[in-house]
Structure 1
């Protein structure tokens, strides 16, 4: 004679506690493992991080010395070129690191490791993209801390605690958008040679067509229009304003564009819009590639 076993409520609750949302936990576990792999590669070859810290510090020292005898008032009242340059170096370093975000994925494609991941029973293949974004964002923050510290030692000063948090938020918004575009390129271009070519072609023109090195008023009118279309300018100017003004607010005017005034809040909104557009652009390609 067979008997039917009915578990009690206590046993059912225990089973529920033991079995959490498996899809989310698997996704987090996969993302953590892939992120850890990237950091292990960095630990074995730390030259990338070392160079990424030394290069912007050299920019601060050399460019600051090069323009230290610039005419008084060119960069603002009682503003040294070192103070003016710091924001540009922070943003351009974060931008350069994010622009290179697609290279590890591209090398994984060429060496066949990405194909192994795509045929593996992953909970979500988007963990590959998220891991790369976490890795690049972490490196960008390490570089930002080094630049902010060096700028302070060179006499540029420091924003208050809230200002430093805003600097971190601006760097995060810029890095997320540029990283998304770089990852999209890594899945679209045929090889790393083409990706490196895009990086080289993009890097310096976006630097010189921004307010990183000179103020907007110093540029010819056509270049002012180009600079106001450059997302880097909307990251540089808010950071620069926070450095130079302790009484900043979201309604503070951070840039006088040819078409009107740009407030700090508007600059943040434009950076957020840039992230949304970048994610929308790459989403169809990522879905087809990771399917």
Structure 2
């Protein structure tokens, strides 16, 4: 009778056994992550209102805000720039930000309904598959929403960047979503319940919107608000995307924002987003280790 080959009964050296164990563990991690991600998409399929609302709301912002400032004086937001073109970048970023900020809600509901406890006592290869699945789910939704907004903006006359510009927009959205998703997942493990998490989301959303360059340029703001907006990581996602929409050529040395303390280049804005991601992801590591252990 044939027997199943496993790392324990293979005639291998200890180093080879360790290598096989790592391959088995990595394969199991991938399998677990895909299974948990599929579960989230099944939930979305059964209740698609989340995706629909996440697409309809930014489209309403794009249409209504563009119409509201349609008769603004020419040149108010730059030479030959309409407000619809100006606000497009802000709508893209805040749609991705809003979705990523809600990333912790499914985990929080799993905590409250007891499903997370079942996962924690299950023989998982790595409990970090729970976090990875939520991240993949939110990133996918954010990219879908971004694609819809970019297409709608092109239809409404905001224009369309070239292929390289679209790739950079995707990269910027991913950098923002990774960092904010990490913060949201950390909050979902730190806060006692979904009421507190929803309260944090509501309290955080609008102040970050108005304290950024999403709705108005820095030059329109009072000095104190210019400093606040220049410290807001969202401004460093908005301004590079806006630059891609308003300029035919760009480079990592292009000036995308004139902060109170100096000019910010395209590459500098991307670096700020990378630092934000590093701080957010490293900051939640102790909490995740303590919760998932």
Kindly indicate whether residue 148 of structure 2 is the aligned counterpart of residue 146 of structure 1: yes
1:163 paired residue number = 165
Give CA deviations for 1:129-179 in whole Å, capped at 9, x if unaligned. 000000000000000000000000000010000000000000000000000
Alignment root-mean-square deviation, CA? 1.7
Q: 1:102-141 maps to which residues of 2 (within 5 A)? A: 102-141=104-143
**In 2, Cα distance between the equivalents of 1:246 and 1:115?**
52
1:253 to 240, 252, 255: 255
Kindly indicate whether residue 72 of structure 2 is the aligned counterpart of residue 96 of structure 1: no
Give CA deviations for 1:228-262 in whole Å, capped at 9, x if unaligned. 01010000000000111121000000000000000
Tell me how far 1:12 sits from its aligned partner: 7.9
1:27 paired residue number = 29
Kindly indicate whether residue 257 of structure 2 is the aligned counterpart of residue 278 of structure 1: no
**In 2, Cα distance between the equivalents of 1:193 and 1:167?**
33
Give CA deviations for 1:164-202 in whole Å, capped at 9, x if unaligned. 000000000000000000000000000000000000000
2:246 paired residue number = 244
**In 2, Cα distance between the equivalents of 1:56 and 1:206?**
16
1:233 to 235, 244, 252: 235
1:37 paired residue number = 39
**In 1, Cα distance between the equivalents of 2:215 and 2:73?**
15
2:68 paired residue number = 66
1:211 paired residue number = 213
Q: Classify 1:161/1:12 alpha carbon distance in 2 versus 1 (closer, same or farther; 3 Å).
A: farther
**In 2, Cα distance between the equivalents of 1:220 and 1:83?**
23
3-state DSSP of counterpart to 1:24:
helix
> What's the TM-score once normalised by structure 1's chain length?
0.94
> What's the TM-score once normalised by structure 2's chain length?
0.93
**In 1, Cα distance between the equivalents of 2:74 and 2:163?**
30
Tell me how far 1:122 sits from its aligned partner: 0.3
3-state DSSP of counterpart to 1:250:
coil
Tell me how far 1:71 sits from its aligned partner: 1.7
**In 2, Cα distance between the equivalents of 1:35 and 1:276?**
24
3-state DSSP of counterpart to 1:231:
coil
**In 2, Cα distance between the equivalents of 1:27 and 1:230?**
35
Q: What are structure 2's unaligned runs of at least 5 residues?
A: 1-9
**In 2, Cα distance between the equivalents of 1:157 and 1:12?**
63
The count of aligned residue pairs is: 280
1:78 to 65, 77, 80: 80
Tell me how far 1:286 sits from its aligned partner: 0.3
1:197 paired residue number = 199
Tell me how far 1:19 sits from its aligned partner: 8.6
**In 1, Cα distance between the equivalents of 2:272 and 2:21?**
42
Give CA deviations for 1:83-134 in whole Å, capped at 9, x if unaligned. 0010000000000000000000000000000000000000000000000000
